[in-house]
Amino acid sequence: MPLPRLTIRPRRLRRSPAIRRMVQENSLTVNDLIYPLFVDEGIDEAVPVKSMPGVFRIPLADVAKNVEAIAEAGIPAVIFFGIPTHKDSVGSEAWNDQGIVQQAIRAAKCAVPDMCVIADSCFCEYTDHGHCGVLSGEDVNNDQTLLNLRKEAVSYARAGIDIIAPSGMMDGMIASIRQALDDDGFSEIAIMSYAVKYASGYFGPFRDAADSTPSFGDRASYQMASGNRLEAIREALLDVEEGADFLMVKPALAYMDIIRDVREASLLPLAVYNVSGEYAMVKAAAHNGWIDEQRVVMETLLGFKRAGANLIITYHALDAARWLKIL
């Protein structure tokens, strides 16, 4: 049998490194990366997070040098999580102007004024029960929590924050924070909404790192169910209407379809959160010699871009920035 005469040969576009570079449709740059930092009020020296090799809880005193190293690597933004020494039923440390995140924001801005400083805004690290707001019985009271989110946002703003990132999945959180910021003269501060956040097993290592595991129950009454797709688009569009400046999808790896959906449903810059469990899996496999860490990380991060992400919050950011320089 004669071979068929092929006129169309996709392999022509893969023949040489130069051609492959010319036809590459998506790319990852250091500008896409946001590095998370855990600042712990109760320590004097950095403490490794066991389930996240390479990640540390750092003391306030180390914020400046960490932010300098991140800037040195070319990464444009950090996102802070605070671990306070004092917790109570409402999480009042979250709106203390001398709280750990507020101090970290000031230290970061002082060390590197050009760094874009983001702070996660929630209460699970601040409440003694580990839920993301004020309780009414066993449930998180949405509207009471909004009142506290407003106070937290304004306190971060006074400390010099660039972007506030509410992560508690409370209804109306974007509108509430926007109004509170505008009322207090902070109309220039942007909001990055954790618009689409699924209740996820992938948050496990983070909860060790941030000491934010709920003491009873789970987050299913406020975070989304993993089978839902239309609801994700609805959440995203609601936050656009409420005045969000950025949207986020979280976790990332198991929700690539949702990243694409949200990208197509709105015109806002879209961030994805490559969460702690995703990081831990890669680190564990790499540690065992089962995968090539650099290759897998870069493939994953590029995958987020291809899916429609504009920004990636990732614990791999410092490594990725280094690898981008070498490549």
Other C-beta atoms closer than 10 Å to the C-beta of 71 total: 17
Considering the candidates 50, 87, 151, 197, report the single residue annotated as catalytic. 197
DSSP code at position 99: S
Q: Does 174 bind ligand PBG (CB under 6 A)?
A: no
Contacts of 223 (CB under 8 A, 6+ apart): 169, 197, 198, 199, 200
Considering the candidates 87, 250, 283, 305, report the single residue annotated as catalytic. 250
d(CA 287, CA 131): 33
| Paired residues of 120 in beta bridges | 165
When the beta carbons of 112 and 200 are compared against ligand PBG, the nearer one is 200
When the beta carbons of 132 and 318 are compared against Zn ion, the nearer one is 132
Q: Does 248 bind ligand PBG (CB under 6 A)?
A: no
Instruction: Tell me which amino acid residue 196 is.
Output: V
Nearest to 161 by CA among 56, 80, 96, 74: 80
Minimum CB–partner distance for residue 325 and Zn ion (Å): 35
Instruction: Tell me which amino acid residue 155 is.
Output: S
Q: Does 124 bind Zn ion (CB under 5 A)?
A: yes
| Paired residues of 116 in beta bridges | 77
When the beta carbons of 203 and 255 are compared against ligand PBG, the nearer one is 203
Q: Does 122 bind Zn ion (CB under 5 A)?
A: yes
* Residue 64 burial by Cβ neighbours in a 10 Å radius (0-12, 13-18, 19+): middle
Q: Does 140 bind Zn ion (CB under 5 A)?
A: no
Partner from Zn ion, ligand PBG, none contacting 86, C-beta within 5 to 8 A by type: none
Out of 121, 167, 300, 314, name the contact with ligand PBG by CB under 6 A.
Answer: 167
d(CA 174, CA 90): 20
Q: Does 165 bind Zn ion (CB under 5 A)?
A: no
Q: Does 79 bind Zn ion (CB under 5 A)?
A: no
Residues in 103-132 at the binding interface with ligand PBG, rule: CB under 6 A: 120, 122, 124, 132
Which tokens hold the place of 193?
Answer: 């909404």
Residues in 211-240 at the binding interface with ligand PBG, rule: CB under 6 A: 212
d(CA 156, CA 149): 11
Partner from Zn ion, ligand PBG, none contacting 206, C-beta within 5 to 8 A by type: ligand PBG
Distance (Å) of CA 135 to CA 1, 128, 140, 252: 75, 11, 4, 29
Q: Does 148 bind ligand PBG (CB under 6 A)?
A: no
Q: Which stretch binds ligand PBG (CB under 6 A): 40-48, 69-77, 135-143, 199-207?
A: 199-207
Out of 100, 132, 154, 252, name the contact with Zn ion by CB under 5 A.
Answer: 132
d(CA 255, CA 272): 10
Q: Can 197 be counted among the known catalytic residues?
A: yes
Q: Can 250 be counted among the known catalytic residues?
A: yes
Q: Provide the annotated active-site residues.
A: 197, 250
List residues near Zn ion by CB under 5 A.
122, 124, 132, 168
